[in-house]
Each structure stands twice: as structure tokens, then as C-alpha cells.
């Protein structure tokens, strides 16, 4: 029988199946962060130990200060970080702490360090764990109770989702990125368009994406309702993984690569849902509302407010129907997050910013300290600072506003993050999601702007 990649990954990790049809799955990598302290407390309350400390990795990211890291000013954040450090030390868990040169956002750090590999099952108490599926891994976010269960047993109960394939064929146009692809399909299908499904991304446009682009695409899968997203491992994957600190060594790599290649869905495998998208139909895209599916090409106008949900979103965003998206003023920009803060993202933004000045303030927070070091070696930091933007350390930063980096009430932010929910970047904040190059365009014009004219002669 022909099998999908989901079928292969699921059966490889299924320990047993319950009477209700749910599967007990073995977890290969469990990633924890500052917010996981409730799960450790539950473990301590039962007098239990971490079942597989060698497969558990701690990361400081959500509350990580992007400035003043040597002396964390906020006592609550200082205590949160100290708690993770204590739990890691007590249970023998590898920790990528605040002062570790490898520190970064968990969904950037995992692939970067080679912790995430094709064929593995990766869990984390964070919804955007789906990012790791870009490498051909089974990866999904879990709740606090489930985090405790994984810590204690290295397993998790899950109901198998249905299989969905989204094929994007053709060639993406100028300044059209993986972020635009994701926002396009979410706007097309809605935030529940992939509900109950695991999405496998396929097609020539997906194959042409770098690993960074594939991670962006998988990162946003849950914004369309999917349980997680995946891309079949190929030569792009193998080249990315090879030589990373936790990846298989030279002697074992060829055998591993052969196993990874076999994960591809079989010819003739049947998906519960198949969606076809023409890459030529995708334009640089921005959100106008308070949900990722409330998005449109930058050349469009704010939609009419006939639907109550649209009307409420426009009221919150302070927008009027019929106004062109291109030209809407912004107060600030943010370039960062697990969605778009890898070296490729920073390079793209710097290409547009080089030699130009920003009209609005903004923060650039690289996805990890290794990304920050690489960007500085390439001189990208100087491009950002000379443009008038602030170059800071790695962390979730203004994506979720847990570390003090927030958007003020009523202010409008052009952001490379993954969610534009009300209050996501701060109480009353108005967030427009877009790609890094579109964030750069907004910085130099002070408005939502089509990046394509600004990139002419620069790419």
C-alpha cells in the first residue's frame, strides 16, 4: 500500500495504540524553555525524574532580554531564567542559556545545531514547533500537561491527523518569499482551512525554497489550522544538515541520508485533501486585520466591512474600507522571530536597506546568537544601524512582547512575525504581518509599501 510521509513518520514512532485510536508516540527531541517551569514543578511534585535527559534540551528565548543580558533588570524575568537553569542542572539537561554563544529562539536553534533531523519526532511547549517539519521531521507544539508527560516518559499520546498536501507549482515572482506563500494560502483557505490535518508542502516552488524558506512556510502552518507542516527531505535538506554539531558524523551520514530520502511519500499515496496553488498568483502580501488569514497583496485595498468580523478587525486596526494598503502609515518596524530572523531574512532586508535611512524606528533581533555573529561578520549589522534601526540580541522579543519589547497602544507595526492577534505585540498594538524585505520597505518609506520598485537593480 502506498504511504504518505505522515504515515511513515507516524508508524515509525508509534509505541502502541489505545482503544480510542490515539497513538502513544516516542519523542526523539523534547525542547523546553522558560515557560516550561509548570511541567518541571509537576514532575517534582510526583518525585519523578526526567526520563531521557539526553533527549531534552533547554532554551532561553521567550523572555530573553535583547539588551542588558549581563544583568537582567526585570526580577520576574530573572527568576524565570534562573528557574530553567536550575531545572536543567538538577536533571542533567543541556541548556542553551542566556550567555551561551549558541543561544537563540528554539525553532531557529534546533535546526541550526542539528538537533532537528529528518525522521525525528520533535515536541516543544510552543505552537510554532511545526517549524522543524521543514526538515522532514514530525514536529508539533504541546501543552503544559503534555510537556510534563514527555519529561516523565519520553512519550506522548496523540490522535493521528488527516493528511493534506498543498502543492505550489511554478516560479515565485520578484520579492515574493516563503512568507508570502504562507500568507497567501492562509488567506485563500482561512485559519481553519487545514484544521485536523498535517500539511505536506510539495511542488516545484517549494522545492526551489532554501531551508530557511521552508522553515518559514512550516512555521506558519498552524496559522491555517494545521496540526503541523512538513517538507520531504531532499538534497537541500541534506546539505543543510551535514556538519552541524548534533548531526550524524561523516561515517554515519551516508546511511542516514539514505534513510531520510526514503521518507518521501510514495507515488500514488492518497491524501485526504489536495490543494493546488499557482506560484504566479502569489504577490508580496500583508495582513490588514487581526488574524493571519486577513491578508491581501500589497496592491489591493482594505476590504469592505460587510462581515461583522471584518468590521471589528478594521475598527481595531483603525482602517477604512477601500483604502489602498500601499501607503498606510506605520509607526515602527520589527524584524525578528522564529518565522523570519535567519541569516537569509537579514540579508534580504539589508539588500533593500543598504544606503537608505529609515523614516520610522525599529528593532532587528536575529534568530540566534550564531546568526547575529554571522550577520556582523558580513557587515549586515552596520546596514541596519546606519539606516537608523536598533540592532539587538536574540530572543522572541517583540513577536510576543514577553521581554519588554512591545508596541505601544494604538501604534502600527510592520512586522516579520507570525501572529497579528489583538494585543500580541502589546495591549492595543496594531500589527501588519509581512516578509523581511517588506518590513525593510516599510522602514524606509514609513508606510506599507510594495518592495519591488525599491529592489530594482539591487538583487
pTM of the model: 0.97
Q: Give the integer Cα–Cα distance in Å for 443 and 459.
A: 18
- Can you give the pLDDT of all 459 residues of the chain as single tens digits? 899 999 999 999 999 999 999 999 999 999 999 989 999 999 999 999 999 999 999 999 999 999 988 888 889 999 999 999 999 999 999 999 999 999 999 999 999 999 999 999 999 999 999 999 999 999 999 999 999 999 999 999 999 999 999 999 999 999 999 999 999 999 999 999 999 999 999 999 999 999 999 999 999 999 999 999 999 999 999 999 999 999 999 999 999 999 999 999 999 999 999 999 999 999 999 999 999 999 999 999 999 988 899 999 999 999 999 999 999 999 999 999 999 999 999 999 999 999 999 999 999 999 999 999 999 999 999 999 999 999 999 999 999 988 889 999 999 999 999 999 999 999 999 999 999 999 999 999 999 999 999 999 887
Task: Write b or e for each residue in 341-368: b if 16 or more Cβ atoms lie within 10 A of its Cβ, otherwise e.
Answer: bbbbbbbbbbbbbbebebbbebbbbbbb
Grid coordinates representing 16 are 502502541
User: Are the beta carbons of 432 and 326 closer than 8 angstroms?
Assistant: no
Q: Nearest to residue 368, comparing CAs of 348, 389, 390, 397?
A: 397
Which H helix or E strand runs over 39? helix 37-45
Q: What single string gives the DSSP state of each residue in 82-115?
A: HHHHHHHHHHT-EEE-TT-TT-B-HHHHHHHHT-
Residue with cell 462581515: 307
Residue with cell 516579520: 416
Where are the strands (E) in 11-161, listed by range?
14-17, 23-26, 29-33, 56-59, 94-96, 121-124, 138-141, 155-158
Read off the DSSP letter of residue 52: -
Which residues does 19 contact at the CB level (< 8 Å), separation at least 6?
none
Which residues does 249 contact at the CB level (< 8 Å), separation at least 6?
none
Provide Rg for the chain, Cα atoms. 21
Q: Give the integer Cα–Cα distance in Å for 297 and 325.
A: 8
Amino acid at each position: 500500500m502506498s504511504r504518505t510521509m505522515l504515515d511513515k513518520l507516524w508508524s515509525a514512532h508509534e509505541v502502541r495504540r489505545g482503544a480510542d485510536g490515539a497513538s502513544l508516540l516516542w519523542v526523539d527531541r523534547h525542547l523546553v524553555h522558560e515557560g516550561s517551569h509548570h511541567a518541571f514543578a509537576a514532575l517534582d511534585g510526583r518525585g519523578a525524574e526526567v526520563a531521557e535527559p539526553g533527549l531534552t534540551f533547554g532554551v532561553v528565548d521567550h523572555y530573553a532580554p535583547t539588551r542588558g543580558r549581563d544583568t537582567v533588570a526585570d526580577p520576574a524575568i530573572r527568576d524565570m531564567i534562573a528557574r530553567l537553569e536550575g531545572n536543567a542542572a538538577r536533571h542533567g539537561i543541556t541548556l542553551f542559556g542566556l550567555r551561551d554563544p549558541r543561544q537563540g529562539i528554539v525553532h531557529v536553534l534546533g535546526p541550526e545545531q542539528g538537533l532537528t533531523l529528518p525522521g525525528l519526532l520533535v515536541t516543544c511547549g510552543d505552537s510554532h514547533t511545526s517549524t522543524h517539519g521543514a526538515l522532514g521531521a514530525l514536529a508539533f507544539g504541546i501543552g503544559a500537561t503534555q510537556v510534563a508527560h514527555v519529561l516523565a516518559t519520553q512519550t506522548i499520546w496523540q490522535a493521528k491527523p488527516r493528511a493534506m498536501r498543498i502543492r505550489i507549482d511554478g516560479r515565485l515572482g520578484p520579492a515574493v518569499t516563503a512568507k508570502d506563500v504562507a500568507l497567501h494560502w492562509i488567506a485563500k483557505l482561512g485559519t481553519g482551512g487545514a484544521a485536523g490535518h498535517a500539511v505536506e508542502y510539495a511542488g516545484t516552488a517549494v522545492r526551489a525554497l532554501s531551508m530557511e524558506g521552508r522553515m518559514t512556510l512550516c512555521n506558519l502552518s498552524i496559522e491555517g489550522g494545521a496540526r503541523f507542516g512538513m517538507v520531504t527531505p531532499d538534497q537541500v535538506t541534506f546539505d543543510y544538515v551535514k556538519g552541524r554539531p548534533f548531526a550524524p558524523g561523516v561515517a554515519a551520514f551516508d546511511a542516514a541520508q539514505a534513510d531520510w530520502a526514503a521518507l518521501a511519500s510514495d507515488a500514488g499515496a492518497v491524501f485526504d485533501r489536495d490543494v493546488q496553488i499557482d506560484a504566479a498568483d502569489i504577490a508580496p502580501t500583508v495582513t490588514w486585520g487581526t488574524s493571519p488569514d486577513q491578508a491581501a497583496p500589497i496592491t489591493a485595498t482594505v476590504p469592505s466591512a460587510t462581515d461583522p468580523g471584518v468590521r471589528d478587525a478594521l475598527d481595531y486596526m483603525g482602517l477604512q474600507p477601500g483604502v489602498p494598503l500601499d501607503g498606510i502609515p506605520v509607526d515602527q518596524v520589527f524584524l525578528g522571530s522564529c518565522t523570519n530572523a535567519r541569516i537569509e531574512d537579514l540579508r534580504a532586508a539589508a539588500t533593500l536597506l543598504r544606503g537608505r535611512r529609515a523614516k520610522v524606528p525599529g528593532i532587528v533581533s536575529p534568530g540566534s546568537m550564531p546568526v547575529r555573529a554571522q550577520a556582523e561578520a558580513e557587515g549586515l549589522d552596520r546596514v541596519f544601524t546606519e539606516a537608523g534601526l536598533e540592532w539587538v540580541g536574540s530572543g522572541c522579543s517583540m513577536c510576543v512582547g514577553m521581554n519588554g519589547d512591545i508596541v505601544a497602544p494604538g501604534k502600527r507595526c510592520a512586522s516579520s512575525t507570525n501572529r497579528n492577534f489583538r494585543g500580541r505585540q502589546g495591549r492595543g498594538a496594531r500589527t501588519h504581518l509581512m516578509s523581511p524585505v517588506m518590513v525593510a520597505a516599510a522602514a524606509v518609506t514609513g508606510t506599507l509599501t510594495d518592495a519591488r520598485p525599491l529592489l530594482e537593480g539591487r538583487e
